[in-house]
Amino acid sequence: MDSIEAPFGEVIELRQIIHDSGVPLLRVLVRDGGRYTKLDLDPATAHRWGDTMVRWARTAAEQGEATG
């Protein structure tokens, strides 16, 4: 679905997979040098996480504008 290069060299890959049970999952793979972290998220968890990230990003951007 997408691959994102993060500021300190990490690469974040987002993929849709289908669990053996038929449930669609969002696979989040973070590559940091030779280390890998893999998370498989169901739609409800991905939605909550996404909402939380958007709220944080909005607040952080607003604070940056206030101090910049």
Domain ranges of the chain: 2-67
Q: What is the DSSP string of the chain?
A: -EEEE-TTS-EEEEEEEE-TTS-EEEEEEEEETTEEEEEEE-HHHHHHHHHHHHHHHHHHHHHHHHH-
- pLDDT tens track for 33-68: 999 999 999 999 999 999 999 999 999 999 987 765
CA 20 centroid distance within chain: 23
For residue 17, pLDDT over 80 is answered with yes
Q: What local confidence, expressed as pLDDT, does residue 4 receive?
A: 97
Global pTM exceeds 0.85? no
Instruction: Compute φ and ψ for 67, nearest 5 degrees.
Output: -95, -15
**Domain 2-67, CATH class in plain words:** alpha beta
